[in-house]
Copies of this chain bind each other. A is one copy, B any other.
Amino acid sequence: MSNSWRPGILPNLGKADRNAVTDLVEIKTLDRHSTIFSAGQQPKGVYFLETGKVKIYALGNEGKQQIIHIAGPGELIGYRAMFSGEKYKVYAETLEACRIGFLSQDEFVGLMDKNRNLRDAVLRELAKELGERAVFVTHLAQQTVRQRLASSLLALSELYGEEPINLTREDLANYVGTATESLIRLLKEFREEGLIEVQTRKLIVKERAKLLLIIN
C-alpha cells in the first residue's frame, strides 16, 4: 500500500506484468480528432494509449460535451464498460496524434485470470477513480466556475508535465463544466492576475500556490 499510486492501471504494475499486457497489443497511429469508441457501442476490449492524449466525454441533452477525463501516455482506456457488461456511456477521441493498441476482452480477461497483480491493479484503479469522482461531484456542485477552473488547471498541468496545456477553449470549458465565453473571461482574469501565461492555444501555469488559494 504505497502512497505513490499513479494514474492508470499499468503504470503501477511491475515491468514484467506490464509487458504481459503491452506485448499483446499491436500499436497503431491515430490522427488528431480520431474517435476510438462512441457511446452506445458494445465494448470489445480495451485500448492501450502508448503516447498522446485522449479525451473521454459524455454528451448532455443539448449535445454539449462533458469531458470526464483526459487520458495520457501509458493509460488503459475503455475497461469500465467492458467490466460492467454495459455499452459505452462515453466517447473517446484523440486530442492529438496518438499511438494506440487494442487488446480483446478475452485476451485481457485471460491475463487477469492468470495474473493476480493485474487483477488487483484493475480493482484498485476502479476503486480509486470512483473515489475521485465523488470528490469531483462535490466540487462541481459546490464550487464556483472560478474555483473549478483553478482545480482544472492544476490537474491538467500535472497531466501535461513540462509542456504547456494545449486544449481548445471549448474543450477546456467542457472539462471545467461551463460555457466557453465564461471560461474565456476567467482565463483573461487569471492571466491579468499573473496566475497563468497564455499563448493562444498554449496555457502555462505560473502560480500553483495562488491557484490553490483560489480553490481554498
Contacts and interface: CB of A to CB of B under 8 A. Distances in A.
B60 A134 contact: no
A199 interface: no
Interface residues of A, number: 44
Interface residues of A: mostly helix, strand, loop or mixed? Answer: helix
Nearest to A113: B116
Interface in A81-133: 81-86, 89-90, 119, 122-124, 126-131, 133
Contact of A61 (B133, B134, B142): B142
A58 B129 contact: no
Contacts of A62: 142
Contacts of A68: 134, 137-138
A148 B163 CA distance: 38
Contact of A85 (B1, B133, B140, B143): B1
Nearest to A126: B126
A141 B140 contact: yes
A177 B55 CA distance: 26
Interface string A1-28: 1000100000000000000000000000
Interface of A: 1, 5, 58-62, 64, 66, 68, 79-86, 89-90, 119, 122-124, 126-131, 133-143, 177, 215-216
